[in-house]
Amino acid sequence: MNRNSPSIRSLALATLLAMLALAQSACSDDPLKLGDVENYTVKRDTVWKAGSPIIVRGTMRVEKGATLRIEAGTRVQFATDAQLVVGKETTANLRVEGTAENPVIFESRSKEGWSGIRLMKTGNNTLIKHLQIKGGGDNSSPALGIAKLSFAVEGLEISASRGLGLSIARVEPGASLSNLSLESENHPLAISPGVLGLLPANLDIKTGKGRGIQISGGMAKAERLDFKYKDYYISGPVSLNASHLNMGPNVTFHCEPKSSIIVGEEFPTIFTCRKCVFTSTAKEKKQGQWAGLQLKENTQPSSVIENCTVEAGGGYGANAGLAIIKVNGILVKNSLFQFNRGAGIGCQGCNIHSEGNRFFENTNNRVAQL
């Protein structure tokens, strides 16, 4: 048999071309057709380009190390209750590459809104740059929920969210936040304390129901921490440690049961607090509805609390609205302490400067030893 016959050569060539095509298919982007996408899982690298809107229905997932890359100017429309979930089972990536001139837009396809984006197990190729999220999130989920922030978020705009706006559970090296504009009917921003040091100075938040930034229990460590927004909601013991910790003016901390605000627990902290209110989330204020404000031994003597209100604290064994522990020289001036279980101001191994303070309906209406 002639090995070089035309038929043999043609068969070999066809086989080679088929193998090349198969190899190219294995290495190319996921063959996801643009248009309607319903309950689809991206398992290979995929690129969405600007052009006709991409419509997502149901739950779209990105899994198995794949990267969904979305180019500048791309518009994605989500049907009612649709959502994008990245890395639920295995590590995956979402790479949003918008620009200030041509942002990527995620928007609702209906008046009912959609369920938002979940970034769960994300890899080192994840990035969010100039993304607009419109109408995402509901009562049980945020417009953008990040389980672990280890990447850059720049130029994020969330608007018309029915639930939480941006939610971040924890941070890891590589995390950064810049140019955020967040609007929602619930808390525009819900974070763990570790995120506080990353918040940009130009953070813009708006809420339709008067709710502000929600902070879960945990610890923050930073060179500087500034609390300047109108309302913070505290949902657990929050430990704040910073070389310079500043609160106010005209800031209110709404504290849920069992929550507390602890200053100077880990390293030296100069605490400056002016014209702030520390209160419970209950409408009717009573003694012991939350644990209270606590200044620990690393709070520096130059710290100042002035023209503040501390009320409804002293619960859960704290026994004071303001507890100062092993710190000398702190100035507490012209502040109101009311409806606290135990003392309005409680001291343990400390000596403070108390000037012009008022006490009303505390168990003990004075500065007392704990």
From first to last of the 370 residues of the chain, give the pLDDT tens digit.
444 555 655 555 555 444 444 444 444 444 455 567 788 999 999 999 998 789 999 999 999 999 999 999 999 999 999 999 999 999 999 999 999 999 999 999 988 889 999 999 999 999 999 999 999 998 889 999 999 999 999 999 999 999 899 999 999 999 999 999 999 999 999 999 999 999 998 999 988 776 899 999 999 999 999 999 999 999 999 999 999 999 999 999 999 999 999 999 999 999 999 999 999 999 999 999 999 999 999 999 999 999 999 999 999 999 999 999 999 999 999 999 999 999 999 999 999 999 999 999 999 988 888 7
Q: Enumerate the H helices of 189-285 as residue ranges.
A: none
Cα separation, 200 vs 63, whole angstroms: 31
Q: Are strands 144-146 and 83-86 parallel, antiparallel or unpaired?
A: unpaired
Q: Which helix (H) or strand (E) holds 17?
A: helix 6-27
Domain residue extents for the chain: 33-211, 217-369
Q: Could you tell me the sign of the dihedral formed by the alpha carbons of 328, 330, 334, 336, in that order?
A: negative
